[in-house]
Structure formats: C-alpha cells, structure tokens
Chain A
C-alpha cells in the first residue's frame, strides 16, 4: 500500500514550475502586449518561491528530510544554494528586461524559460537519486539551450545555441552513461543507498570508478571546468548578454552544488579515489582561466574565462573534501553571484548609438563619462581579483583556508599564484576605465532596474567586510550538517 507522497517539501519547486506554465498560457493569450507584465510576474513568482522556501526554514529550522520515495532531499545545503539560484535568476531577469526590449528580442517566452530553467536547477540541487539528478539537469539544460539561441535572427546567437546543445547533449550522455555504470555495479541509483555501500571506505571496483569518472566529466562540463570548458567562451560570446549573465550565475551555482552533493554524499566514501580528479581539474581551471583571459579583447569572452577560473577556485573547496571546504565553496559562490551579476549589469550598459559594444577597449575612459558606473565596475573587478577589503577576497580566503587545513598546500600555492595572473586582466579593465582617455559616452538612460542591481551588488561587495557574519556562519552551519560527527 503506497500512501500519497508528502508534497510539502517540494512545494517551492512545484510552485515555480506551475507559475512557469501559468505565465506561458498568459503570454500565449495576451501576446506581445504583456511581455513586461509577464516579466514582472515572473520576478514575483521567483520572490514568492524564495518565500515559500525560506519560511519553513526560518520558523522551524532546516532538518534533513527525504521525500518522494527517496528521490528528493531537503537540507541546509539545498535551501542555501536554492536561495542563491533564485536570487541569481531574479536579478538576471531584472537586468534583461530593458535590454531585450532595446534589442528587439523581447518575447514573453524569455521569463518563462528562465522560470523553467530555475525549477530544473532547484530539482538538481534537491536530487537524492541519480535519476532525479538527471531529470533536473535535463529540464534545466533544455531551457538553457533555447535561451542561448534566443536572439533567433542573430547568427551568433543561433550558433551559440546549437553549439551548447550539441556539446551539452554529449555531456549529458556521458553523465547518463556513468550513472548507468554506477547502477550496474552498485545495484542502486539512490544516493543514500550508494552512500551506505561506500561508507566503510571499501575498495570500489574498476567499473564503479569508471562510472564515477564519467559522472565527473558530465558535471565538469556543466560547471565549465577545464578541460571541458571549450563551449564556454563561444556560448558566452554568442548568447544575448542577459542570457550570458544568467548562464554565468544560476546554472553554475546549481551545477557546483550538484558536484558537491554527488561527490560528498553518495561517493563520499571514495574520497581518496576522486580527490585527485577534482585536484587536477581545479588546477587546470585556475591556470587556464587566468592565462587564456589575458588575450581576450571581448568582454564577454573575458568573463567566460574569468568564470572558468572562478570555478577552479570553488573546486579547491571540493578537493579539500572537508566541512571547511564545503563552507569555502558556499561562501565563494554566494559572493561570486553578486560580483558577476553586477559585472554583467555593467556590461549591459555598454551601448553606443543604439548598438551593443563588447570590446574591452570600449570601456576606455569610462571614469570620465560615467563615473558611477566606472566605480561600480572597478569595485567588481578588484573583487573578482580577490583584493581586500572587497568581498571577493573573503571568498578566496575561505577556500584557501580549507586547502591549508586539509593539507593541500600545493593547491593553495597554485591558487594564489594564478590569482596574481588573474589580477592582471581585471586590473587591465580598471586601467582602461581610469587611466585611458575617454572614447565617447554610452547611451543613456541605462534603466532603473539595471542601476538598482548595480547599486545593490556594489554595496554588497563593498560593505560585506563590515557584516560578514550571517553569510559565513550560515555557510558554516550548512557545511557542518553534511559532515555529521
């Protein structure tokens, strides 16, 4: 006798998916008139989802709870990162609105696709089974493929969408293949079952290790870690800028969380086997992200390499494999979210004579033409470079702390050295804005939403140092729950 499952724990995901469908119908009937209304409703839906997610956590605290026949899990890690994903999607929607209108690509499907992708990401984060993981991942990915090609009359955007689709499909295939091997050798797809199987730290067979390697490859592709990063610069450059902003934030947070969960929970007992994989891709990502970015002249490609590098830093925390490491990753992605949204909000302001400009040289002399925008971008650049007293420094601090604590000094040394290389290209943008002569102003106005997002992110990054407790302690508490005892 199977009782009706308890749907309460998955209420946020269900609400978000339902809102997406309702808005789809609204959009389909109301047509082009209602694009703005649909966007604002989507923003509202995201905010409401966050409220539904956080209200029980606020009143009753978060205890680990498995629901839907072991498919989904609600825990601190999930609530923490789902909140970040929602914030990322919400801010991306806000900065996208005016841009899409100006570019003539405003369609009501945009917010709907973002909602569906977000629902997929939340499912990924909450997955407690390899099948649930795959479902969430695909829901997210399919929506993202369409988003990448959203400027459908633009060759570059279409190319980006196709590229992303083909390569993404290969990666999904790898992940699925790995999952099937794990199932074949372990006999279960449940995370809890797998965790129990490996709990003793018993030796895993070659078949299982192969399966884990394939799963890691699929996940590394999704977080765009070297050597599975090749799609990132092209897709980032080709996709419409607000979509790029969205890509660089929400899916990345979701995929990193998934990486954490898969590696630490079902395969936690095999830490010794997979640590070297993470170690290697972390080093490769940091190094390649830093060196390849130096040669970039397009700001979106530059941000693509920057995000590759940042994934490398975040993976240091996973390579540490400790509570401190998880804490480092969580702090890192939370801060990264605000730095990146802010930077992309700034990039969206780069329009001259009604057309988007994307060369980093177009930023020359920005401090003369738009002092406030230049200041905000400078704050983000110094923060991305990890210079104190800005928030980006604390992100790096906590992952390096984890690396030192876990006895990985070599990884930490490589990390700080590549961060110096990385500082070079962030500084170059500051140099362009502050040291060089003005190129001519950007089109005004930037739009109230973009300005508001810029302000919020800049203030958050600048004054994080004054009140870091909530984020750090929250991440600490979440990380502790993953490592009981």
Chain B
C-alpha cells in the first residue's frame, strides 16, 4: 500500500496555514502514526487524503491514484473513522457495521454475516444487538473501528480514535489496531506520543502545518542531535559533556548526548561505581526537541 503526498498546502480562508507544503511517501503494510498538538494539521491532512477536503495546492496519490481528480477510485481503497465520529445511538453495533458495509456496496445478507464475524473478532458479539447508546465509550469506539475493519479497504484512516478513552480502553484498542495492521496500511493520528511509539511503524511529526520529521523510530532518532539518554540516580557531578543535562524533580539526572559521549560517560560512572541506566530517546523526547526546541524540566 502506498501514499505519496506532494507539497500539500491548505489555507482555510481567514486563518493560518493548516498545512504547509507537506510531502512524504510511505509504501508498506503497517501503521503510519501522525502526531502533533491540537491544530497541528493532522485532521486536515487526513481529510485531504481521505478525499473529504480539497487542498489549496499540492496533490497526493494513494496507490498511484490521484486523490484530487480520481477521488471515486480512491474511495474504493480507503475507509475512514473521522475525528469525533460517534456510533449512531439508535443503531446496534451489528446494524452500524452492516449498514456501513452496504454503503460500500455489499448486500444486506453479506454485510450482516461479515459484521457478525468482525464483532466476534473484537469481542463485541455479546452486545451486537444492544443499542449503541447503552455501550461504554470504549465499546462505542470499538464499534466504529469494527466498521472500517470489516471493509476490505486496504488503507484505513483513524483520526484520533482513542481520544477521551481511559487507559485500559486505549490499550484494548491498541491491541486491536496492532493485530489488524499486517495486511493493510493504517494511518492513525494521535496526540498521545506513547500511542504513536507503540503502534507506529513510521511516524510523522506535524507542527503548525509543517511536517517536521517523518520515518521509523530509528530514523527519527538519527534526526535529533542527542539520541541517547543516560539516567543517574542522585545528584552527581558531571564534567563538561556535549549534551543536554536535565535534572528531574526526584533528584535524578538525565543526560542526553551522542552515542560516543554516552559510552565515555558510562565508563566513568562504572569506574566510580555509580548506578546508571542507558536508553535511546523516546518519541516524547524527540517531539520535545523538534516541536518545543529542547527538553523541558
């Protein structure tokens, strides 16, 4: 599955640029996570790729089909759960899934059969005939995800599907998303960095409409100046180092630096018999570096 965005720009009338020359190419099965703060342009990007919105300039291709001029063909390939989408309260989960499949062209019987199958896979078979309004927030969100999974669409857009869910429900949804990403491309937007790091095979970082970085976690780590962290318990005197020192509220010290510097420092700490841990920077750290220009206390 392939998406190619070329200089996508969206300028809503009377407002700032929602998207500013965004270009990227992704060709894989798996999960592409787009992260950014509120208003970063995530939803605008998804809506353009999902043929719901026209860009001001630029274009995009899905499996080499132009989303601007051949939207009809693109729509055969994609399925979308928009931001703030809600399961229609007067429908049951089975009715929700099957009617969506009918909009995709399946017959009543086919759509019911496939709907039942997907709801069973997601553990919703016991509530398939309950009204959506009676379900918990997490279950309602699962119903929406079930609608798009049940389609054969090889490319799925999920715009902030876990926003507002409690941690347990979010993790349940992560498991579902993780299990369904192997035979399709899922584009997930989120402002939960942990979610993007856990699920994303590739990650795009958007800020104020600009795509600041794009790639796998390893590729993103190569973008930042200091890709490693050494964490030392307690207050320790650190000689000058090419890096960034962050003192945590519990008294521990985190030093962000290059691989070579971290290795050197680790040797010194070993000699001084000081306890420490070494790890690669997280997406949270990368996001802070790129979006906020550094690591804050």
**Is the A/B pair a real complex?**
no
